[in-house]
Chain A
Amino acid sequence: MTVGGATVEFEKIRKTYGDFVAVDDFTLTTEPGEFVTLLGPSGSGKTTVLNMLAGFTDATAGDIRVNGQSVLSVPTEKRNVGMVFQHYSLFPHMSVLDNVAFPLRMRSVARAEARDRALKALAMVQLESTADRMPDQLSGGQKQRVAFARGVVFEPPVLLMDEPLGALDLKLREAMQLELKQIHKTVGCTIIFVTHDQSEALTLSDRIVVMRDGRIEQVDTPNRIYDRPANKFVAEFIGQTNFFALESEPSTGAGNLPELGSSIPLPESIDARAGGDWWVSVRPEKILRIAEGAERGINFDAAIDEALFLGNEVHYQASLPGGRQLQFREQRGPDTPLLARQAAVRLGFDYSDAIPVADTHPASA
């Protein structure tokens, strides 16, 4: 089963409940067949966006178009979008096969054909053998796959997934992520996926929409989001990072890092004196140990507080002489010695690995 994906356009979507603004100024256009993830902490409005596209909630303002057609006045059942819910929402009184056939039966597909197509969808998730069972006889992972088969069996151009892996344990979740990627490749529908798990978003998505307080903070590919976060919130929410305060020097155009006693060159576009606080974000794997006599852009001394040994990698926590703590990571081979606690090290990172970010929401400080 291959389905062409749809273009979904959100245009200045706004949703308010009384005085509370759940979603504001949400504008986004998906490519056909794209895997787009809405990522944000709980209460960031990501599920509300999904519910507006599904038709469970009305938008206060703005427009949502699927393949150019506005869907806001179309009732939920006629929107032709598939959906997979966090807690599966399988119908407990129907067999697995009848659950998967349900969307087809609701579209008046004849019983024999509905049965064949439902079996094919179950085969896609490797669950044909459970067709005659009832949902409560399945494991969590199996239920999730049945829910997925049910969501795509009628070949919807858009599939919505609301934290679909949230109820599974870590190992199963990782296995399901791989499977989901493969199935997405075969089915080809546009997927809009909601999660608060940043590593899941990085693994699965073509593009990630990072949301906070109902607004979009950044829309970009996973690697751009990770490498070039738009602001401090995104840098902090995606992956781990170290922040160092940044003060710009008007005369030289350089930025001071008082905690490290160094300065970095800044592009002219950044004016760290204006508005909110500025920081540089440096990922733990970008901070390296410096050999005797060598130099990097920024160099400083630190003492090891704690070492977490992870096999191929060691995660260190270290303190600067002033007491401020930072994280760094080291890839290791068989001959790499582990640093002991309290060991003195010289660390450094390149200018290009220090990403200047602004703290754009004063409210979140």
Chain B
Amino acid sequence: MPAHSFRLLSLGIGIVKLLRSSDWLIVPGVLLLAFFFVAPTVEIALSSIFDEGLTGKHFERFATKGAYVEVFRRTLVRSVWIGILCVLIGYPIAYFIVHRSLRTQVFLMLLILVPLWTSILIRTYAWMVVLGREGIVNNALIWLGLIDKPLRMMFTTGAVYVAMIQILLPIAVIACYSAMTEIDRTLPRAAKVLGASPWKAFRHVFLPLSLEGALTSFVIVFMLSMGFFITPALVGGRKDAMLANVIAHNVEQLNWGFASALALLLLVATIIVIVVVRLLANRFVGVRSVGMAP
């Protein structure tokens, strides 16, 4: 049999095998991602370095203008903090929920989910109502006689933090909760009967087993904050702009190349932080081993 017809035959067998197994179900998903995710990402990467020929001018513009570097640094630091704060607040909430009866768990998780059904824009407007000059908080404080003049809360960095954490917290809780439900309930019990105090049972058994969930929740919240756009624009001041706001501005100005360069930087920074967090976390897990067998 000639080589090419043999190759054709094996290709045919391959296709038949693929169609027989349920693996072909992944094809639409792969196609969708290829067209609407991979292709645009490559397009962005290319347009950041090709502008009437190969050029590094967009990255040079970023590096030489202190304002851009400052926005980049702010975005990164703020996203890391919001990730950490969401985990620190969300983890205990998930811990509380997972230790209730099943019925209560369902109810409490429903409460956590409800805000997610509301759009980010609307939730951000809600914060404007709460934090504004004539807002609920100011009126309440004045009525209580704690302050004479309204506090300035809108258009501050604090407002951005509060609003972003409130918006992203449910996601952190859900990620932690789903990891915690995977933990065998007898394990903390086994730890206790074997001599671990409640704190040690948590520290050496529950925490390491739920750390994966805490990390996932940090990573998701961090990634989402890196791209946050509406909330900082509406409740933050002029100095609270994040990288996504700058990208949007440049797209409006039709500076496609520069916007692409910024987007690429955002992507790379996000990936680096996630990798570093994973590496750090792996070193931190578990009781100190008594070592290996001889």
Asked whether, in the complex, the Cβ of A106 is within 8 Å of the Cβ of B290, the reply is no
| Contacting residues, chain B, for A131 (C-beta < 8 A) | 292-293
Docked Cα-Cα span, A94 to B192, in Å, equals 16
Contact B190 A106 (CB under 8 A): no
A54 to B192, CA, bound (A): 9
Q: Complex Cα distance A112/B197, Å?
A: 22
Contact A95 B289 (CB under 8 A): yes
> Which listed residue (A85, A111, A114) contacts B190, Cβ 8 A?
A85
Q: How far is the CA of A330 from the CA of B293 in the complex (A)?
A: 54
In the assembled complex, A77 has its CB within 8 A of some CB on chain B: yes
Inter-subunit contact B186/A105 (CB<8 Å): no
Give the most central of B184, B289, B290, B293: most A CB within 10 Å: B290
- Does B74 reach chain A (CB closer than 8 Å)? no
Q: How long is the Cα–Cα vector from A128 to B288 in the complex, in angstroms?
A: 20
- In this complex, the member of B191, B195, B201, B289 whose beta carbon has the largest number of chain A beta carbons within 10 angstroms is B195
Let me know if A132 and B292 touch, CB within 8 A: yes
Q: Determine which of A81, A92, A105, A151 lies in contact with B290 in the assembled complex, contact meaning CB atoms within 8 Å.
A: A105
Residues of A within 8 A of B201 (CB): 77
Report the minimum CB–CB distance from B99 to chain A (whole Å).
14
B200 at the interface (CB under 8 A from A): yes
Chain B: residues with CB nearer than 8 A to chain A?
184, 186-187, 189-198, 200-201, 204-205, 208-209, 285-294
Cβ-defined contact, B193 with A92, below 8 A: no
- Among B190, B192, B209, B289, contact of A98 (Cβ-Cβ < 8 Å): B289
Q: Bound complex: CA of A89 vs CA of B286, how far in Å? A: 16
**Cα of A150 to Cα of B193 in the assembled complex, Å:** 11
Give min CB distance, A102 to chain B, whole Å.
6
Residue among A81, A93, A106, A150 making CB contact with B200, cutoff 8 Å: A106
Which among B208, B287, B291, B292 is the interface contact of A102 at CB below 8 angstroms? B287
A309 at the interface (CB under 8 A from B): no
Given contacts A93-B286, A98-B290, A111-B288, contact A106 B195 (CB under 8 A): yes
A76 within 8 Å of B (CB atoms): yes
A83 with B193: CB separation less than 8 A: yes
Known: A91-B191, A105-B290. 16 other contacts (CB 8 A): A55-B192, A83-B190, A83-B193, A91-B205, A94-B286, A97-B289, A97-B290, A97-B292, A98-B287, A101-B290, A102-B194, A102-B196, A102-B204, A103-B194, A131-B292, A150-B194
Q: Are A77 and B193 in contact (CB under 8 A)?
A: yes
Using an 8 Å CB-CB cutoff, how does the interface string of A52-93 with B read, 1 for contact, 0 for none? 001110000000000000000000110111110101010111
Chain B: which residue is nearest A51 at the CB level?
A: B189
Which chain A residue lies CB-closest to B200?
A106
Complex interface: chain B residues within 8 A of A160 (CB): 193
Alpha-carbon distance A103/B192, docked complex (angstroms): 9
Interface range on chain A: under 10, 10 to 19, 20 to 34, or 35 or more? 35 or more
Given A89-B184, A89-B189, A128-B293, A83–B288 Cβ distance below 8 Å? no
Q: Could you tell me the distance between the alpha carbons of A102 and B243 in the complex, rounded to whole angstroms?
A: 48
Residue A278, interface by CB 8 Å:
no
From B184, B195, B287, B289, contact of A77 by CB (8 A): B195
- Is the CB of A315 closer than 8 A to any CB of chain B? no
CB nearest to A54 among chain B residues: B193
In contact, B200 and A55 (Cβ under 8 angstroms): no
Q: Given A56-B189, A81-B193, A93-B209, are A114 and B285 also a contact pair (CB < 8 Å)?
A: no
Chain A, residue nearest B190 (CB): A89
6 CB contacts below 8 A, A to B, read A85-B190, A94-B287, A131-B293, A132-B293, A150-B194, A151-B194
Please tell me if A115 contacts chain B, counting CB pairs below 8 Å. yes
Residues of B close to A103: CB separation below 8 A: 194-195
Q: Which residues of A sit under 8 angstroms from B286, Cβ to Cβ?
A: 93-94, 98
Query: How far is it, in angstroms, between the C-alpha of A160 and the C-alpha of B194 when the chains are bound?
Result: 11
User: Known: A87-B186, A89-B184, A91-B205. Is A77-B290 also a contact (CB below 8 A)?
Assistant: no
Q: Given contacts A91-B205, A94-B287, is CB(A106)–CB(B194) below 8 Å?
A: yes
Q: Which of A103-125 contact B (CB under 8 A)?
A: 103, 105-107, 111-112, 114-115, 118-119
A154 adjacent to chain B (CB < 8 Å): yes
Nearest Cβ on chain B to A8's Cβ, whole angstroms: 15
For B292, the chain A residues whose CB sits under 8 A away are 97, 131-132
CB-contacts of A31-58 with B (<8 A): 54-56
In the complex, what's the smallest C-beta–C-beta distance from B107 to chain A, in angstroms? 22
- B289 near A106 (CB under 8 angstroms)? no
CB distance from B147 to the nearest CB of A (A): 48
Contact A89 B187 (CB under 8 A): yes
CB distance A87 to B287 under 8 Å?
Answer: no
Question: Which residue in chain B gives the minimum CB-CB distance to A106?
Answer: B195
B209 touches A97 (CB 8 A): no
Asked if residues B293 and A106 are in contact (CB atoms below 8 Å), the reply is no
| A130 and chain B: residue at smallest CB distance | B293
User: Does B293 lie within 8 Å of A91, measured CB to CB?
Assistant: no
Q: Mark A258-271, 1 if CB is under 8 A from B, else 0.
A: 00000000000000
> Do residues B287 and A115 form an inter-chain contact, with CB atoms below 8 A?
no
Q: What residues of chain B lie closer than 8 Å to A82, measured between beta carbons? A: 193-194
Known: A89-B189, A91-B191, A106-B200. A111 touches B290 (CB 8 A): yes
Give chain B residues whose Cβ lies under 8 Å from the Cβ of A56.
189, 193
> Within 8 Å CB of B288, what residues of A?
111
Residues in B neighbouring A87, C-beta threshold 8 A: 184, 186
